[in-house]
Structure 1
Amino acid sequence: MSTQQHEQDRVEPGAAEPVMAATGLVKRYGKVTALRGADFELLPGEIMAVVGDNGAGKSTLIKALSGAIVPDEGEIRLDGSPVRFHSPLDARKAGIETVYQTLAVAPAMDISSNLFLGREQRKPGVRGSVFRMLDRKAMRAAAQDQLDALGVATVQNIDQIVETLSGGQRQAVAVSRAAMFGTKLVIMDEPTAALGVKESGQVLDLIRRIRDRGLPVILISHNMPHVFEVADRIHVHRLGRRAALVQPGDYTMSEVVSLMTGALSLDSDGALVDPSGHRAEVDEQGHAVAVDG
């Protein structure tokens, strides 16, 4: 699907039921409250970026959505139905795949084995059910089909050992695996961290292709240029809750950073205001300045 086609087909906010929605999430760790009534929505066919300063609670939010933690309060809905995940396995069974920053790949195994890690296919009949023999031929064919479908051209040999791949190629394997088994959505945690410019661009292209195939993506990133390059909407997280929900074309990077830090917020009309409630803007040096009042 072309970029122009995606622009035409993109679902506008409020036009469809969210694939995933969270309301009033609360998570406490002793005396520390990491989530303070956090809300979240992911629409069909979109890339939703989640940004926030260190300690904002965005990692806790993503852990709640991916089943890594259980919120103390609040509700998560998947396709409109309440769900309660007690582990990442519960989320995976529901069709939610997560690509962690640390990359859960097995370096000593080949690419096809990594794509089917934990979901190995057995040979049909007695050989599979009794002798537990793996159907490596079928897994290699399915893995190659997946890489081809996603346009992963940097990997030439499906039997290549993962530890011999570059950082970007390893990331492509992890992302391809998530797209292969994610039926509802994919969560990506800092997918371009520690990658060079060329490899980052390849991963961003891969994320777009996953979105364009109809699988919505939650993207957690500190890299604002990458966020503005691929995100359809941006969830700004601050002090344990959603501080703003914006579209990249409506605000600049500097303005989104100001929303992250609390230098600015949005009023009911979506206008930027300073802590005193006065209309404000960001100057060329990146400083928030009042423009009225």
Structure 2
Amino acid sequence: MSIDASRPEIAIAGRHLAKKFGHVQALSDASITVPSGKVVALFGDNGAGKSTLLKLLLGIHQKDAGELIVADEPVELRSVRDAQELGVDCVYQDLALAPDLSVVDNMFLGHELTRAGALGWAGFVDRAEMQERTDEALRRLSIKLPSLTVAVQELSGGQQQALAVARAVMWSKTAVLMDEPTAALGARQSEIVCDLMRTIAASGLGVLVVSHDLPRVLKVADTVTILWRGRTALEAPAEDLTVPDVVATMVGYGVGEAA
């Protein structure tokens, strides 16, 4: 895949973000930048603010201070719908798939295609077009599933994860955010998902990965952002970091310092 030269330099970013819930300061000064065509890993210990930052970028929560940027432009995200309209989608940790529905139905859940019926009324689901687009979307990411009509509950964990990724990519124009995409997956399935991250980035989308899988995600990421107590403690090229470096920063020690 080749990156579209017309794509923005910054897919999505947050600068000096702050968010408070009652007396709890979840974020005090968090910044992250996800360039188009790059994979950015977001690391942090439990309670560091990763989930809050992700939800600010998705419009689930609204920031108290700071700036959000999508496609090089400052934006205000007041809902998930706002983020989606700007081309930002997410692969959630629970995948948000409907297990009883088919692969095609899950890909188009909430986006069903219809065609005109008698007298011009639009009341027929265009299943043939939906199946064709699903097949194309999966092929583009080199995802192989046993059938497009099989119920999602019949797929393996890795196949379900790949489907959730493909769905997010199909409806994204700017960035794909991933929340713990390799959680509960085996080694081989995790490698497949990490390969998908690189494929998505190669298409020109920005990819943000929130993960505890440090060794695997560190290998696939271009840059790393680490949160510590609601602040950005480090932003650096992934190739300059080791797992001990990341862990040291996550627990509050400087990179390269011993505990």
TM-score interval for Structure 1 and Structure 2 normalised by the shorter chain: over 0.9
Relative to structure 1, the CA distance from residue 131 to residue 44 in structure 2 (aligned partners, 3 Å threshold; closer, same or farther) is: closer
Q: Which of 226, 229, 241 is equivalent to 1:236?
A: 226
1:52 is aligned to 2:44: yes
Q: In structure 1, the residue corresponding to 2:234 is in which secondary structure?
A: strand
2:200 is the counterpart of 1:210: yes
CA deviation string 1:129-159 (max 9, x = no partner): 7352100010001001111111002x02111
Between 1 and 2, higher relative CO (CA 8 Å, sep ≥ 6) is seen in 2
Residues in 1 aligned to 2:44 and 2:97: alpha-carbon distance in whole angstroms? 27
Alpha-carbon distance in structure 2 between the residues aligned to 1:19 and 1:151: 23
Per the alignment, residue 41 of structure 1 pairs with: 33
Change (3 A) 1:83 1:128: farther
> What is the CA RMSD across the aligned residues, in angstroms?
1.8
Alpha-carbon deviation of 1:79? 2.2
Deviations 1:30-57 (A, max 9, x none): 1111010211111121000000000000
Alpha-carbon distance between aligned partners in 2 of 1:128 and 1:146, rounded to the nearest angstrom: 32
> Is structure 2 residue 217 aligned with structure 1 residue 263?
no
Task: Output aligned runs, 1:141-180, within 5 Å.
Answer: 141-153=132-144, 155-180=145-170
- In the superposition, relative to structure 1, how do residues 243 and 157 fare at CA in structure 2: closer, same or farther (>3 Å)? same
Q: Deviations over 1:97-119 (max 9, x none)?
A: 10100111010100011001110
- Aligned equivalents of 1:55 and 1:258: distance in 2? 16
Instruction: Name 1:84's counterpart in structure 2.
Output: 76
Indicate conservation of the 8 Å contact 2:42/2:225, yes or no. yes
Q: Work out the CA distance in 1 between the residues paired with 2:123 and 2:81.
A: 22
Identity over aligned pairs, percent: 39
Are 1:69 and 2:61 matched, yes or no?
Answer: yes
Secondary structure at 2:32 match in 1: strand
8 Å CA contact 1:98, 1:178 repeated in 2: yes
- The structure with the largest alpha-carbon Rg is 1
Q: Normalising to structure 2: TM-score of the pair?
A: 0.94
Q: Which runs of 5+ in 2 are unaligned?
A: none
Q: Kindly tell me the number of residue pairs found equivalent between the two proteins.
A: 255
Normalised TM-score (structure 1):
0.83
Secondary structure of 1:256 counterpart: helix
Offset of 1:217 from its aligned partner? 0.3
Matches of 1:208 and 1:251 in 2, distance apart? Answer: 19
CA distance in 2: counterparts of 1:24 and 1:250, whole angstroms: 24
Return the alpha-carbon distance in structure 2 between the equivalents of residues 164 and 251 of structure 1: 39
- The answer as to 2:127 corresponding to 1:136 is yes
Which segments of 5 or more consecutive residues in structure 1 lack a partner in the other structure? 10-15, 265-271, 273-280, 283-287
Within 1, Cα distance between the matches of 2:206 and 2:67? 20
The runs of at least 4 consecutive aligned structure 1 residues that moved more than 6 Å come to none
Q: Which secondary structure does the structure 2 equivalent of 1:105 belong to?
A: coil
